[in-house]
Structure 1
Amino acid sequence: MSEAVKVIVRGRVQGVGFRPFVYQISMEENLAGTVQNNMDGVRITWEGSRVAVRRALKRLETEKPRLSRIDELAVHAAATTGRKGFQIIDSDRSGKSSLVIPVDSAVCSDCLKEMHDPSNFRYRYPFINCTQCGPRYSIIDELPYDRKYTSMVDFRMCSKCEKEYRDPLNRRHHAQPIACDSCGPHLSLRSSDGELLGEREDALALAVRGLEKGRTVAVKGIGGFHLACDASNSEAVARLRRCKNRPDKPLAIMARSMEEVRRIAAISDREENVLRSPEAPIVLLEKNKAFTDLLPGALAPGIRTIGVMLPYTPLHHLLFDDGKFSFLVMTSANPSGLPILYRDDCAVHYLGGIADQILTHNRPILHAVDDSVVRVGRSVPFFLRRSRGYAPDPINSERNVDGIAALGSQMKNTFAIGRGDQIFVSPHLGDLTAMESMDHYQATLAHVMKWTGVTPRAIAIDKHPYYSTREIAAKLGKPIVEVQHHHAHLVSCMEDNVLKGKCIGVILDGTGYGADGNVWGFEVLYGGTSGYQRLAHLRYTPLPGGDRAVTEPWRNATAMLISLLGDEGRRLAARLFPDQSAGLRVIDRMTGMKLNSPMAGTCGRLFDAVSAIIGLCKVSTYEGEPAILLSECADEGNGQVEPYPYRVTWEETAEIDFSLTLKQIAEDHLHGLSAARISRRFHETVVSVCCSVIHRIACRHPEFGRRVVLSGGSLNNQFLARHLQATLAAGGFDVFTHHRMPCGDGGLCLGQLAVAAEMQVGKT
């Protein structure tokens, strides 16, 4: 019996070979009809035997292309017409967009095989791609995803490429970046002042030779420029650090192959799967014993982990094919505090004196996108930075978030746009302090709003009175919803785990503007999208000089000791920091007179202080360095470790006091106890404090339930997060952590958006 259906497929179904996949199914099942891209996904009409139609519908979900994701499959009965044949028809650009923006993907094995085949006309072509791999988000100007709306618009296909592009049974059918050496983009190598040194194969050969000789080469990838050098060459690494003024911050490396990764790091099957995935993020791995024999410690000084990625563009593979190196440093080329470099003119302007050569190409990057950074847990990647390969893929929500925009935080910024029940989170945008960063932010926001077809009806921002996002929100001219920083963290983790109602939240963070005007960041909250109660917090201490106390942790440590311990704290500070006698007197006066010394109670500053007290990091050279070094040195030995003494004062809001902890840590250090033992005991103290407070709250308020969410940037600390989660779980609590978004400020916009959506219910 014959029947006809109209099918609407929504999700990640454009730019992933979905139409040729449908065409192939139709041919095999002898179905007539059409398939078309449009502004709400893919539309299919099928006519044929009922059995064949049912089989084809099942195959849509079970055999879909590897990069596709079906969020909704709507099937409607239609009248039979006796249609013959099946066609892929032109895209329909009418109507409001409900498309999912395709993400950039690592080169696939089929393309690599062709690139290494001397008989293939794309042999050694650095921009080989197909419907299952290559650039997407970074080259799209408008939707739907057609070549004329991408940065490939000016590259006219040759007859060979066009034949593949038009063939519905070819894996390059409507692969929009399709090209070859005769019709597509090509490489060029320039000096740091812009002089052309070579093109195509010559450019590649000269760049490889430069890397082998220890030079720094800026390499243009999918989403922007990296600075590359031979990671095994200690002089080259040291020179790159000097030129980029990046003395200690860990550098990510790219390894030739998985075999090379295994030589320098311990790696699990899950970690290998993530490294090999189409998203191809940087994965944090534990260094193994052979690491220091093969690579310089200066790549990631003072820490046990190293950020590793595999080659994810054809160009990366060609560099390793031709070079004698097995590892390359691949670090973002942008100057500190500025957005990623992705335009050639900006690269020449900013990289003079840093890169010796610039290996670039003439396929424009329309939208810069940083590498994603993950740590692999027991089941899923834990995002430290969600960007290339993952963003702006939407997160589905169980609430109506339509028309809500959330502008995120000042640091590690991402923003979010709500459409229906989908939340589109931008790639990592970083620090918004510089004007260039603000311009980049606003351009990205405008593009995502255009692509999603969303005109915001409400804007969520952080309560901080001086965050740059407040200025952007004012320009948008819509109602503004202010969301307290740590309330947003609480709700972000709840939304990440699809939790409704209210939860207890342990929010351990660096900095957040508090409702009382002080700096919060060590909070126990209870609440949800409708509001929150503050149940417990860290005792406030002054931050002399504000941001200067953050970059010079010895100042923060001194202020804590003096503020909490008085004369005894002064004596301890003098012994701990004997070379800062004049500075100690200034800090004492500043805190005593409350001059430029905001009051703060944050987990980040507490960790900074302990790191400085035990001599790990007295002056910070990159964000989070003191806390990272402290967590990395913690003794992972077996057995119970007794926590340091502490106090909790139980009033309307409990106050956590680490005065006794800091006194004992200072004395332990001065008596020669190892940093590893002190760090382990301190971590156990933080876990003990949090768990004891949660237990007492649960006993006092059984109506709060036993769901606990963990959020905040300090929970990037794997040791702390793991022990806190395990101890709470052992105490009978249901513990939830982030898995779709970062736990730090990179995930803040998700919570902001959910709170604003709740507040806007019923409003127009």
Structure 2
Amino acid sequence: MQRAVRVVVKGRVQGVGFRPFIYGLASRLNIKGTVQNNVDGVIIIGEGEWNNLLQFNGQIKESAPRLSRIEYVAVDDITYKGYEEFSIIPSVATGKEVSLISPDAAVCEDCINEMNNPLDRRYKFPFINCTQCGPRYSIIHKLPYDRPYTTMASFHMCTVCREEYTDPTNRRHHAQPICCAQCGPRLELRMSNGQVCEGEEAINKAILLLKSNKIVAVKGIGGYHLACNARAEEPINQLRKVKHRPKRPFAVMADCLETVMEMCEMTDVEEAVLNSSEMPITLLKKKPSYPLSDCIAPRLSTLGVMLPYTPLHHLLFREGLNGLVMTSANVSGSPILYKDDDCSFNQLRALSDAILTHDRPIYRPIDDSVVQCERDQITLLRRARGYAPDPLKTYAPVDSILALGGNQKNAFALGVGSHIFVSPHIGDLDHEEMVGAFREHLAHYKKWLGFKEKYVVIDKHPLYETNRLARELGSNVLKVQHHHAHHVSCMEEHGLKKPTLGIILDGTGYGNDGHVWGFELLYGDKGSFERLGHLRYTPLPGGEKAVKEPWRNAVGMLINSFSQEGRELACALFPDRKREIDLIENMVKKGVNTPLGGTCGRLFDAVSAMLGVCSVSTYEGEAAIKLAEFGQDQAKKGEHYPFQIHDLNGTIQLDFSSGLYEIASDRLSMKPTRTIAQAFHRTVVEMSVQMVMSAVKKRPDLNRNVVLSGGSFQNFFLRDELKKELSERGFEVFTHRLIPCHDGGLSVGQLIIASEWISRQSAKKGSEKDVYRSPS
């Protein structure tokens, strides 16, 4: 007996070859009807024998394309109409929800094989793609995902491409960026002398320049990279000079896994991540026989590595090139360059010796993602290409809430229905150029999602740029405490509802008492929190200057804790800065431009400076990162430095003064830096554990779930050792995986906290005035 059903599939089902997949499945099972995209997802009308329809519905989930992500399938019986065939019908821009768009995907193996086949019509074609690979997010103007709504709209398909595009049995059926050498895009190399090369000549000339130790700007999926030979110091040092990036590590693109294995150690999990459709930058441990210059990642034991993820990248790896330094084309702290206008080209000329570009526009820029693997776990450190714009599913009522995140590692979040859309990594909002990039990203997301915010959520820090941005938006503005947002972001990732303990270790966060927090023990949920414990406050001479010059932080701590003896220790540790130490002593005693703070990041900075590892930071977290190099490779058990635990009006206070004194003494007595750093790492773990144990001793009723969040947990030793130590004491510990532990995940926590506050106010029938409010 013939039956008819209507199937609605929601999730990431556009731009991933889903309709051709449905067409093929229907053909095999002798099902007639239609498949169509709309804004909600994919709508299928199927008619056939009941057993065939049952198989059809089952295989939709079981055999879906690899880039798809099905969240919901609804099947309803409908009236049988008697379709004579199964067909793909045109998309419609209707629907109530937002369909999930596939992130940009690395070029697939099938396309690479075609590109390397001299008999294939796309031989050496730098823009080859299919339904399972190629640009998505970076070229989409609006939904639904169809060619007219992408930057490929101006490229008219040749006859052969059109046949492939319309053939339901073809791998490129409805591959929106489909193209070939006949119908474009076109590649060209712009030389500094004004010469322009096109097509294969452009690639060959670019290779010669790279082999000659020149810097070439290369247009990728989400913006321009600056590329140079990874095996030559001269162009790498020049790259540092033009980018104003003296020490921050660069990433390397290797031609293949064999080259990666020559440079770094690699587990099966890391190999799988490197080869995935996301192809992120993956942090790997350098081999003892590491063949590249130390100037790529100075004084670090790890290297960020990625594989070629566009056809153009693959074509560059010829004639002996097998490793390229690949870094975003911008001056450090500025937005990535991605436009093809005179202003961008002028900037690219100042940064490089030649520009390898093409005429397929990038609609939205996106940086490379960064991940780190630990055993079988993958942790996102920068969420961008390959992962964004995939949303997070939530059960919280987040609709119409916009969370702006923080000032560092910014990423905002929008609540739409039952999803949280987190923007790609934007960067630090330190100047107007970056704020402009933020505004562009936000405007795009709002247009794409049809989003209109009813509430805007910001951090409590009064000087954050997001504060001004929120006022401009003109909606109800809610303020959320920094570390509460960190706490709840980890809870949300793991679906934790009941109050939990939270160890929040980071660099800087504005506290409810006006001081700088960052070594916190919190207890609470999305509705509220208690501050159960923290590190004792010490002065930060010069405020932000103490962050950039960690030696100032160390001097402030020593003088604050030990007065005259502390000054003498500071002079002994920093003998070339005695005059400045006198000024800092005066600042500390008089409290002039010297905020108080107790943060893990600043504690790491101070110890790093005291040990001579890093006295002045040239990039965020440099002092702590370099100290971690000495402290992590160690036996898990061992001595730690002394510290005291005090009760300060019912709040636990960690006092590390005695430990700081011993570290200074050990340094001056020439104890090995590695030994001191290892003991310090163990001390931070021990202080955190004892803070938790003190809290549960005072309050045995506390839930024994613990979340770990904050930027300091990018130090995997701290994360893993704390997890192990607490687990041995009966706690269940949760850490970040999909949401960055640093401020890149802040907006998720902000959004959830605001959602709860709004729900409670609604239940109380509170008024909604356009005023500043503080959920936490």
Q: Spell out, residue by residue over 1:368-421, the C-alpha distance to the aligned partner (whole angstroms, 9 max, x if none).
A: 000000001233311110100001101111222111111101010001111121
Paired residue secondary structure (2:350): coil
Distance 2:303 2:607 in 1: 24
Amino acid at match of 1:343: K
Number of the residue aligned with 2:112? 112
- Give the C-alpha shift of residue 192 in structure 1: 4.7
In structure 2, the partner of 1:64 is 64
User: Superposition RMSD on alpha carbons, in Å?
Assistant: 1.2
- Closer, same or farther: CA 244–134 of 1 in aligned 2, 3 Å: same
For 1:697 and 1:598, the matched residues in 2 are separated by 27
State how far apart, in whole Å, the 1-side matches of 2:154 and 2:319 are.
32
SS in 2 for 1:30: coil
Q: Distance in 2 between the 1:234 and 1:755 partners?
A: 49
C-alpha deviation, 1:35, in angstroms: 0.2
Q: Secondary structure of the equivalent of 1:344?
A: coil
CA contact (8 A) 1:97 1:453 kept: no
SS in 2 for 1:466: coil
In 2, the alpha carbon distance for the partners of 1:192 and 1:368 equals 25
| Partner amino acid, structure 1, of 2:87 | Q
**Alpha-carbon distance, 1:704 to partner:** 1.5
TM value normalised by structure 2: 0.97
Which residue of structure 1 lines up, in the alignment, with residue 765 of structure 2? none
Specify the alignment match of 1:489 in structure 2.
486
Tell me how far 1:242 sits from its aligned partner. 2.1
* Secondary structure, aligned partner of 2:759: coil
Give 1:112 deviation, angstroms.
Answer: 0.4
Alpha carbons 1:542, 1:598 under 8 Å: kept:
yes
Residue aligning to 2:390: 393
* Map of 1:217 onto structure 2: 216
Q: Which runs of 4+ in 1 moved over 6 A?
A: none
Query: Structure 2: which amino acid aligns with 1:263?
Result: E
Corresponding position: 1:370 with 2:355: no
User: How many angstroms apart in 2 are the aligned matches of 1:736 and 1:592?
Assistant: 41
CA distance in 2, matches of 1:253, 1:412: 21
Spell out the pairing of 1:309-458 with structure 2 (5 A cutoff).
309-320=306-317, 322-345=318-341, 346-458=343-455
Separation of aligned partners in 1, 2:192 and 2:584: 45
Counterpart of 2:700 in structure 1 is 702
2:469 to 459, 469, 472: 472
Distance 2:697 2:450 in 1: 48
SS at match of 1:163: helix
Which shows bigger deviation, 556-565 or 132-141?
A: 556-565
Residue 760, structure 1, aligned to residue 758, structure 2: yes
The residue correspondences of 1:510-549 to structure 2 (distance < 5 A) are 510-549=507-546
Q: What amino acid is the match of 1:80?
A: Y
Equivalent residue runs for 1:643-722 within 5 Å? 643-651=640-648, 652-722=650-720
Are 1:89 and 2:89 matched, yes or no? yes
The match for 1:566 among 541, 545, 563 is 563
The one-letter code of the counterpart of 2:511 is G
Separation of aligned partners in 1, 2:536 and 2:107: 51
Counterpart in the other structure of 2:23? 23
**Counterparts in 2 of 1:119 and 1:557: CA distance versus 1, 3 Å:** same
**TM-fit CA distance, 1:639:** 5.8
What is the Cα deviation at residue 239 of structure 1?
1.9
- 2:187 and 2:408 map into 1 onto residues whose CA distance is 35
Partner of 1:2: 2
Distance 2:517 2:452 in 1: 33
Q: Which moved more, 1:659-668 or 1:440-449?
A: 440-449
- For residue 38 of structure 1, report the CA deviation from its aligned partner: 0.1
Query: Does the 8 Å CA contact 1:634/1:675 hold for their aligned counterparts?
Result: no
**Cα distance, 1:196–1:612 mapped onto 2, change above 3 Å:** same
The structural deviation recorded for 1:225 is 0.9
- Counterpart amino acid of 2:19? R
Are the equivalent residues in 1 in contact too, given 2:280–2:368 (CA < 8 A)? yes
TM-score, structure 1 normalization: 0.98
Question: Secondary structure of 1:633's partner?
Answer: helix
Provide the C-alpha distance between the structure 1 equivalents of 2:409 and 2:394, rounded to a whole number of angstroms: 23
**Structure 2 CA distance, aligned partners of 1:553 and 1:205?**
47
How far residue 47 of structure 1 moved from its aligned partner, in angstroms, is: 0.4
What one-letter code is carried by the residue in structure 2 that aligns with 1:151? T
- How is 1:733-744 mapped onto 2 (pairs within 5 angstroms)? 733-744=731-742
Code of the aligned partner of 1:449: K
What does residue range 234-383 of structure 1 map to in structure 2 within 5 Å? Answer: 234-291=233-290, 294-320=291-317, 322-345=318-341, 346-383=343-380
Residues 524-549 of structure 1, C-alpha deviation per residue, up to 9 Å, x if partnerless?
Answer: 10111101111111111111111111
Q: 1:746 aligns with which of 732, 744, 747?
A: 744
Are the aligned partners of 1:635 and 1:677 in contact in 2 as well (CA < 8 Å)? no
Q: Which residue of 1 aligns with 2:624?
A: 627
| Structure 2 CA distance for partners of 1:605 and 1:639, relative to 1, 3 Å | closer
User: How far, CA to CA, are the matches of 1:144 and 1:354 in structure 2?
Assistant: 37
Runs of 5+ consecutive residues of structure 1 not aligned to the other structure: none
Aligned-partner residue type, residue 392 of structure 2: I
2:43 is aligned with 1:43: yes
How many residues of Structure 1 are paired with residues of Structure 2 in the alignment? 760
Q: In structure 1, what residue type is equivalent to 2:661?
A: K
What is the distance in 2 between the residues matched to 1:571 and 1:724? Answer: 35
Do the aligned partners of 1:214 and 1:236 also contact (CA within 8 Å) in 2?
yes
**Structure 2 equivalent of residue 131 of structure 1:** 131
**Cα distance per residue 1:60-96 (max 9 Å; x no partner):** 1111001000000011111112221011000011244
**In structure 2, distance between residues paired with 1:602 and 1:639:** 24
Per-residue CA deviation, residues 178-221 of structure 1 (Å, 9 max, x unaligned), is 0011111121111358x342111111111110000000111110
Letter in 2 for 1:223: G
Q: Give runs of aligned pairs for residues 67-216 of structure 1, distance below 5 A.
A: 67-192=67-192, 195-216=194-215
CA distance in 2, matches of 1:567, 1:552: 22
Distance 2:377 2:395 in 1: 21
Q: Deviation per CA, 1:573-622, whole angstroms, max 9, x where unpaired?
A: 00000001111111111111111111111111100000000000011111
Give the aligned residue type for 1:486: H
Distance in 2 between residues matched to 1:429 and 1:235, nearest whole Å: 30
Please tell me the residue identity of whatever aligns with 2:644: R
Aligned partner letter, 1:14: Q
Q: Distance in 2 between matches of 1:674 and 1:724?
A: 25
Distance 1:644 1:43, change over 3 A: same
Which amino acid in the other structure matches residue 662 of structure 1?
L
More displaced 10-residue stretch of structure 1: 223-232 or 471-480: 471-480
